[in-house]
Each structure stands twice: as structure tokens, then as C-alpha cells.
Chain A
Amino acid sequence: MALGQEVAVGMADIKVGKESQILTTVLGSCVGLCLYSPSHKVGGLLHLMMPSAGMNMANPDLKKAKYADTGVADLVRMIKASFGVQSSDLVAKMFGGAKVLQGVERNIGAENIEAVKALLRANAIPVKASCVGGERGYRIKFNLETGRVICQIFGNQPEEF
């Protein structure tokens, strides 16, 4: 859904775009992965919920953007298909992975962070910046003109990455 040049990215979703656009999302335990090609000024944002599709991998209705292991590959594929950019041209910035709900045993946010880091390593995509963890939500705005991301952790001032 577009808001002028801003495009909101919901949970378990991927949006790709080019220079005139700003991709925006709000995160809790989910991780927002921004991939960007500085030379082509194109990129995409993945809003993933869980580290691994696991048993759901065989599900024909699998929503790839929900999981890190299927979502990262799908984001790279979509950028390549839309703009002809290879993964070697991409740099990554990642945000989110908080533990918003206290008293819940599983720290899904931390699992998401580790899964994305491992996948980026495996795909040889360098992580240029990250702001992850904590107990508060994140609002991010990914500018596809510059590759810069404005990240505001709830209750804090916005920071640029």
C-alpha cells in the first residue's frame, strides 16, 4: 500500500523498489532485513516472523516471507528478477528482533537475528549496519535513493544507519 512515495511492508511480506521509494515497517520480535544495491539504487525489505519454515517447507501455501530461511532467498530472487541485480552487488542492514512480551520463554526475536546473520554469511552479503534486540518495537524507513535507514526504537530518538 503506497503512502505517496512511502510503501508499508506488513508482517510476512516483501516489497522491492527503486530510488524514488521509501519502504517502511514496524517491528517487534520480527526482523526487518533491508538489502540494497548502491550502484543500481534498488533494494527490498523483508519483514520476517520466524527463523525457519521447518515442517512447513513442503506446504504448497507456504508464505516464504514469513521465515528467514525462505524469505532471505526470496528477497534476493525478487531483487534479481525485478532489476537484474546479483546478490554480490547487495549490502544488508537489519533491524528488530526484540523481546516485547516478557514472561514468554522462547526468545523468537533472538532466534530470528541469528538465523538472518547466518543466511547473510552463507550468501556472502555483507552486513553494513544493524540495530537489533532489546524489549521495544522498531519503526524503520528505508530510503531507496540513498540506502540509508532511519530507525526509531520506541521511546527513543530516530537514528540513521
Chain B
Amino acid sequence: MDESQQVQRALQLIANLSIDKASQVLSKSIKVGAKIELENVYVADISKATEAIMVSDEGDVVGAYVDLVGDMPFKFLFYVAAEDSLTLTDLMLRKELGTTKKFDIYVTSTVQELGNILASAVTNVFASDFQIKMRPSPPKVVHDYASTVFGEYIMEAAADLNEILMIESQFRVVRMNIKCRMFLLPTGDTQKTLASIVAAA
């Protein structure tokens, strides 16, 4: 197995553990089971990846951007359909379902908090399983078209690269049939750092 395959395998392992942990903390936070529907590590052409999001027409979403800074920087994105963010707000605030009817400060805070919780879960996996120190930056919340939210997320990495390495996952909040998406994007020298860790192991 060459170095790039080893890095890919290490990323797959990180993805599996991070996504597993994230789904557990999501379930705990909203007190409803969250099932992992997709976990994928892949290299994506920036034009094709954004085109695919446009064609899938996910409508408007609420997303939380978090920079995971430290030994191995990543960019983190969590988003959910705007309509479903209202239900998540009721679940997080332990309100009767249907109480939150419009996008307001409580919805923003809920998505921000979920972004923070999930990003922290990922950094805990890095710290406990790989001894890689990382911390999440304060989440930035954006309510906009799914394609705009995703495009702004990959902007920094895509400035230097035509293809980006992406960890993608999708959770389904089972009883409510809510689909949440989570992405991790290695930035800067993350892949090199990972290669050196793999080589030293």
C-alpha cells in the first residue's frame, strides 16, 4: 500500500470514528435516534461537486460553519433543511413539536449549538484516538440556498485546488425523517501531517 492509499485509509478511519461519535451526540442532544445513512471519503472536482448540489435542489438550508484549528486543521459544515431546523429547535429546547414556526434567533442558536456539539465530538475523536490536538472555532450560521452554503464552505480550499478531498456524512433523525448533512474538509497541510503520522506509525 503506497502513502496516498495509507492516508486515504487513515482518513476513512477518522471519518468512521468521527461520524459514529457525531451521530451519538446528535441523538443525545435531541433525545431522538439519529441513524447514519451515508459516510464517504472521496476526491471531488469543485465544479462537479457544486453542480451536483445545484441539481439536487435541496432548497434553503441552515448551516453551521466551524473551523477546526490545531495540529491538523479541517473545515466543518453541518446543515439541515430550513423547514427541518424548526423541528430540531423544538427537539433541542424540549418544546412540543410544531411550536417553532418561523426562522428566528432560537433556530439560529440551535443550529449554532448543534454545529458546536458535533464539531467538538469530532475534535474529541482526534484527541482521544489519534492524539491530535484540535479545537473548534465559534460556529458561523448561515440561512441561504444549499448551493450557496456549500459553495462558501469549499471556497478557501477550492481557491488553490481544482479537486478537494472530502469527508461526507448524512444522518436521518428517525422518527421525524429529518436529513442532516455533515462535511469535513482537510485544509492547509493536513494531508501532509496525516502522511507523516502514517509514515511514523
Contacts and interface: CB of A to CB of B under 8 A. Distances in A.
A29 B140 CA distance: 16
Interface stretch (A8-16, A34-42, A120-128, A143-151): A8-16
Chain B binding surface SS class: helix
A29 B147 CA distance: 12
A57 interface: no
B142 interface: yes
B158 interface: yes
18 contacts: A1-B55, A3-B55, A10-B47, A10-B54, A11-B46, A11-B50, A13-B47, A26-B54, A26-B147, A26-B151, A28-B149, A28-B151, A28-B152, A61-B162, A66-B162, A101-B142, A108-B155, A154-B144
Nearest to A61: B162
A37 to B, nearest CB: 24
Query: Which has the most chain A C-beta neighbours within 10 Å: B49, B148, B158?
Result: B148
Interface residues of A, number: 33
B55 A137 contact: no
Contacts, number: 85
Contacts of B160: 56
Contact of B152 (A8, A63, A101, A138): A101
A21 interface: no
B65 interface: yes
A56 B55 CA distance: 30
A136 B148 CA distance: 9
Contacts of A13: 47, 51
Contact of A29 (B49, B52, B152): B152
Given A25-B54, A29-B152, A137-B148, A11 B158 contact: yes
Given A49-B159, A137-B148, A154-B145, 16 more contacts: A1-B51, A1-B52, A10-B50, A11-B46, A11-B151, A26-B54, A26-B147, A26-B148, A28-B152, A28-B155, A29-B155, A100-B148, A101-B65, A103-B140, A136-B144, A137-B149
Contacts of B60: 154
Chain B residues touching A, range: 20 to 34
A50 B159 contact: yes
A139 interface: yes
A30 interface: yes
Nearest to A104: B140
Interface in B106-157: 140, 142, 144-145, 147-149, 151-152, 154-155
A153 B142 CA distance: 14
Interface in A53-79: 56, 61, 63, 65-66
A45 interface: no
Contacts of A27: 148, 151
A67 to B, nearest CB: 10
Interface in B136-191: 140, 142, 144-145, 147-149, 151-152, 154-155, 158-160, 162
Contacts of A26: 54, 145, 147-148, 151
B48 interface: yes
A49 B152 contact: no
Nearest to B51: A10
A26 B49 CA distance: 13
B159 A100 contact: no
Contacts of B158: 11-12, 49, 66
